[in-house]
Amino acid sequence: MLQYIMKGGTPLVGEVCIGGAKNAALGIIAAAVMADEPVVIENLPDVQDINVLLKAIEEIGAVVDRIDRHTVRIIGSTISTITVNSDYIRKIRASYYLLGALLGKYKQAEVALPGGCNIGTRPIDQHLKGFVALGGRYSIERGMVCVKADRLKGSHIYLDVVSVGATINVMLSAVMAEGSTILENAAKEPHVVDVANMLNSMGANIKGAGTDVIRIRGVQKLHGTEYSIIPDQIEAGTFMVAAAVTHGDIVVKNVIPKHLESISAKLAEMGCEVTEEDDAVRVVAKRRMRHTQIKTLPYPGFPTDMQPQFTVALAVAEGTSIVTESIFENRFKYVDELARMGSNIRVEGSVAVIDGVRGFTGATVSAPDLRAGAALVLAGLAADGYTVVDDISYILRGYESFDKKLQGLGAAIEMVESEREAARFKLKVG
């Protein structure tokens, strides 16, 4: 089994370059199959979730040509089936974007029910509500979601909850519907805006992405495009917290500082020096951090995908902090793992009460999901002694070359596959 092994205690110092946003890329790949002309996507992160989605569209007949590690050309004219059902696709959440994209283009789609990180019940009722409002019918049979429409017609849709996935899926299914769609209570995340911009570059007519009302005027056809994905807000935030928790000094490059404001503000509140440049953010943490309160909220609020990393930082901050998770109901599973490293955190429902301890001690822990896995790595890098993080397949789903990027900042970390490799690492690091 793949593991990360690390020896903590070294302040991370230097520069790190952030890749393209995974969650934008997932919507953008689905959008790409809606054109018959070639679509070139740049700044694509080379992570497991993306590679699984590319494989899935290849399996239904799209041409996927990897030009280089971060650039792909997709041709959707060769798609020969609307049924997406493979072992891989069941593992990722964003398979549901193929429902919206194929429904929008071919008026029907059958996709295996989405998997993804186990952080709550994660229903897709709002996605389905959007499809129905546009004239679709759906059924769930043998683990597949099947949607079909004789014709898709623009509609007025009000989402009951602010959902990134449902917002992107409604955009995908409505761009080629007849007439206009108004989507209210839409999610405002940067990756929603990125998917809308990409669709507009293919000839779609979407206005208002980034606000809570999105207006879509249907067009008959989408054409080819070349599009570069925005930087990943969560990868950037993870490295910002790495600086904080290891008392380091990191320049996080190739970012859009505006997308990081809620993260920067919290780190500043906790006592870090945060400076913004045009496309970089520098985080310097000279002393032990202070306690604070965090509540996860839809953008521009504090992102739920940064909750575990900040809980790790607060676990070694001075005083008592409160973290409230308001998006997913089951997102504190890593707290038991963190307890093995000496933290003092009590979880009551959706609230974690964190009594800061002086420091972590290294231990063997398991990554329960993607972001919590990354957070445990940060804890290991701050800990005294060796830490082993198991089940890192979760982390590989969303972080490209995580170990290499951390090594570039001075971290003693390696990905190992056996006891022998772990022993060799210990011998080397001393």
Residues in contact with ligand UD1 by the rule CB under 6 A: 23, 26, 93-94, 120, 122-127, 161, 163-166, 187, 304-305, 327-328
Write out the E strands in 240-332: 249-253, 273-276, 280-284, 293-295, 320-324
Smallest gap from Cβ 123 to ligand UD1, in A, equals: 4
Q: Which is nearer to ligand UD1, 4 or 97 (CB)?
A: 97
Smallest gap from Cβ 172 to ligand UD1, in A, equals: 13
| Residues classed as catalytic | 117
Phi/psi for 218 (5° steps) reads: -65, 140
Smallest gap from Cβ 184 to ligand UD1, in A, equals: 15
Q: For residue 428, count CB atoms less than 10 angstroms from its CB and return exposed for 0-12, middle for 13-18, buried for 19 or more.
A: exposed
* Kind and range of the H or E run holding 64: strand 63-68
CB atoms within 10 A of CB 19: 23
Smallest gap from Cβ 130 to ligand UD1, in A, equals: 9
Q: Which is nearer to ligand UD1, 3 or 304 (CB)?
A: 304
Smallest gap from Cβ 77 to ligand UD1, in A, equals: 26
End-to-end C-alpha distance for the chain, whole angstroms:
23
Q: Which is nearer to ligand UD1, 304 or 343 (CB)?
A: 304
Distance CA 266, CA 293 (A): 9
Instruction: State the DSSP code for 114.
Output: P
Distance CA 359, CA 383 (A): 6
Q: Which is nearer to ligand UD1, 105 or 331 (CB)?
A: 331
Q: Closest residue (Cβ) to ligand UD1?
A: 165
Distance CA 389, CA 404 (A): 16
Distance CA 103, CA 101 (A): 6
Q: Which is nearer to ligand UD1, 203 or 301 (CB)?
A: 301
Closest CA to 72 of 231, 235, 227, 230: 227
Cα atoms in the 13 Å half-sphere on the side-chain side of 278: 0
